[in-house]
């Protein structure tokens, strides 16, 4: 496996590989878990060679967020990527991505404006900017993102469309712990008690989906189920909710007249202690494959 922190070396590697092979790119911030590795496996199905990037992107964190404490187990990550069968790891320094004088940013698409875009105002500007740069540094035919960050995947798709980026954007299912908790690098911040509280995200989403599938059409009712279950009588609920919404899965806009339509998704962001967690679930039967009903 080729490992480099140099953008020019990464570019040369990708250019060379693309002469013979289809190249897939999997961007990550490291602290890898099975969710990330499932993206690598999906990428291997879509291309002969897979490049993984590991970069904790400072421009997508606000000053009060967890940039400094974000875990960075680089050696362990590289070994995990190697055993998942990737051909290359690119792990640049901050300086290599944001050299002195750096001042060009992507203005994110409309789908970035609500939800995460409200709570984390510059977040998607940082995400779009770094993803566009990674696409330039490692020209690939396909890039794989996780549905776990649902709004992010829609933002990247819209950017690729709007900028005519010659790359296919693949979105892979959310990988969960056996009890339903969506895997996340931030789960390692949770104490055992907080981990129990965190379970209320997947539980609330599951209950909301059950209600939707059993015919509840009122978005107000569905959002009440979502919120009540997230709070779960406080004991085992989250400490606070950033948002809990049932929206159009394409635009991420609320439904007109608050009546559920096909292609709906439930989005949640909540805090447990100082840890911020996000999760989502499709409310449409044929898309609802990533979490069991039972």
Provide the 10 A C-beta neighbour count for residue 223: 19
Judged by CB, which is closer to ligand AMP: 92, or 146? 146
Q: What minimum distance in Å lies between the beta carbon of 24 and ligand AMP?
A: 13
How far apart are the C-alpha atoms of 124 and 116, rounded to whole Å?
8
Contact call for residues 1 and 17 (beta carbons, < 8 A): no
Contact call for residues 193 and 145 (beta carbons, < 8 A): no
Q: What minimum distance in Å lies between the beta carbon of 71 and ligand AMP?
A: 10
Options 7, 17, 38, 97; binder of ligand AMP; rule CB under 6 A:
38
Q: What minimum distance in Å lies between the beta carbon of 56 and ligand AMP?
A: 8
Judged by CB, which is closer to ligand AMP: 32, or 219? 32
How far apart are the C-alpha atoms of 41 and 281, rounded to whole Å?
22
- Is residue 148 a contact residue for ligand AMP (CB under 6 A)? yes
User: Which helix (H) or strand (E) is 96 found in, with range?
Assistant: helix 94-97
User: Which helix (H) or strand (E) is 171 found in, with range?
Assistant: strand 168-172
Burial level of 22, CB count in 10 A (0-12/13-18/19+)? Answer: middle
Q: Which residues pair with 49 in a beta bridge?
A: 23
Judged by CB, which is closer to ligand AMP: 154, or 244? 154
How far apart are the C-alpha atoms of 225 and 203, rounded to whole Å?
11
3-state secondary structure at position 285: helix
- Is residue 182 a contact residue for ligand AMP (CB under 6 A)? yes
Options 61, 90, 115, 145; binder of ligand AMP; rule CB under 6 A:
145
Dihedral pair phi/psi, residue 241, rounded to 5°: -110, 125
- Is residue 146 a contact residue for ligand AMP (CB under 6 A)? yes
How far apart are the C-alpha atoms of 247 and 222, rounded to whole Å?
11
Q: What minimum distance in Å lies between the beta carbon of 259 and ligand AMP?
A: 30
**Options 36, 91, 95, 250, the catalytic residue:** 36
- Is residue 36 a contact residue for ligand AMP (CB under 6 A)? yes
Q: What minimum distance in Å lies between the beta carbon of 147 and ligand AMP?
A: 6
Q: Is 36 a catalytic residue?
A: yes
In 3D, which of 142, 20, 25, 19 has the Cα closest to residue 88? 25
Distance between terminal CA atoms of the chain?
41
- Is residue 35 a contact residue for ligand AMP (CB under 6 A)? yes
The interface region with ligand AMP, picked from 8-16, 34-42, 94-102, 268-276 by CB under 6 A, is 34-42
- Is residue 28 a contact residue for ligand AMP (CB under 6 A)? yes
Q: What minimum distance in Å lies between the beta carbon of 146 and ligand AMP?
A: 2
- Binding to ligand AMP in span 162-181, by CB under 6 A: 172, 174-175
* Site for ligand AMP, rule CB under 6 A: 28-29, 35-36, 38-39, 145-146, 148-149, 172, 174-175, 182-185
Indicate which residues carry an active-site annotation. 36
């Amino acid at each position: 496996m080729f490992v480099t922190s140099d953008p020019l070396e990464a570019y040369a590697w990708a250019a060379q590989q693309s002469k013979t092979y289809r190249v897939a790119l999997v961007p990550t911030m490291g602290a890898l878990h099975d969710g990330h590795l499932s993206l690598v496996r999906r990428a291997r199905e879509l291309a002969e060679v897979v490049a993984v990037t590991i970069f904790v992107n400072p421009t997508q964190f606000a000053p009060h967020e967890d940039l400094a404490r974000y875990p960075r187990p680089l050696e362990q990550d590289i070994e995990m990527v190697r055993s998942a069968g990737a051909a290359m790891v690119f792990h640049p320094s901050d300086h290599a991505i944001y050299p002195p004088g750096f001042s060009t940013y992507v203005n994110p698409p409309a789908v970035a404006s609500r939800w995460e875009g409200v709570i984390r105002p510059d977040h998607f500007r940082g995400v779009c900017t770094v993803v566009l740069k990674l696409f330039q540094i490692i020209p690939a035919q396909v890039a794989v993102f996780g549905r776990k960050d649902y709004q992010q995947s829609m933002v990247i798709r819209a950017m690729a469309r709007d900028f005519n980026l010659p790359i296919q954007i693949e979105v892979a299912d959310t990988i969960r712990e056996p009890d339903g908790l969506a895997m996340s690098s931030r789960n390692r911040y949770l104490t055992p008690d907080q981990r129990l509280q965190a379970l209320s995200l997947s539980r609330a989403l599951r209950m909301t989906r059950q209600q939707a599938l059993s015919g509840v059409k009122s978005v107000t009712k569905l959002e009440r189920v979502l919120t009540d279950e997230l709070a779960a009588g406080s004991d085992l609920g989250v400490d606070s909710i950033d948002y809990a919404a049932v929206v159009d899965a394409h635009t991420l806009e609320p439904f007109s007249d608050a009546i559920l339509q096909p292609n709906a998704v439930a989005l949640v962001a909540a805090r447990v202690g100082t840890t911020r967690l996000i999760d989502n679930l499709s409310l449409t039967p044929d898309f609802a494959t990533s979490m069991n009903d039972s």
